[in-house]
Amino acid sequence: MSQCIDPIVGKILAGWRYDISGLAPEMRGDYEEHFNDCERCRSKRRLHRTIDVSLIALASVSAGVFLLAFGVIRHFGPQHAFILELAALAGFALSALIWLVVAVATPAPVTMIEAAKVGARRVHDRLPQEIRERLPEELRMKITGS
């Protein structure tokens, strides 16, 4: 991997886990420029966002599996079903807590919203002009960002 082009800025960004979403727009300029110029920091940020989104996805799948286990236990009613149901609900609660902590402590939701906006812009740009004109002005402003 290449070296950071500005190690001081790179260390600041590393301390923030490469997240500048909480900064005011007028303060982001230098950091966004650094991301544009520095391949190392850009790849590190991509790695961190991938980990964040993967953790949310894994916690979601885990919660679903625990709910499924609860349903199966409830349906078949094996011996000691109450204890198994409590274990399944505790697993669901822990998965939900982990999901919540990751969603609050990381910029993953902001990243997903930005990805959705980029996708919406792409779809909007491919629409025929007559359909684009039918969209409400407020929606068009949100999609295009202008």
Q: What are the C-alpha distances in Å from 139 to residues 117, 142, 143?
A: 12, 5, 6
Give me the tens of pLDDT residue by residue for the chain, a chain 146 residues long. Answer: 578 888 888 888 877 777 777 777 778 788 888 888 888 888 888 888 888 889 999 999 999 999 999 999 999 988 889 999 999 999 999 999 999 998 888 887 777 777 788 888 888 888 898 888 888 888 878 777 76
Q: Which residue intervals of 16-135 are DSSP H helices?
A: 25-37, 39-76, 81-105, 108-126, 129-134
Cα distance between the two ends of the chain: 37
pTM over 0.85: no
- Where do the structural domains in the chain lie, given as residue ranges? 107-146
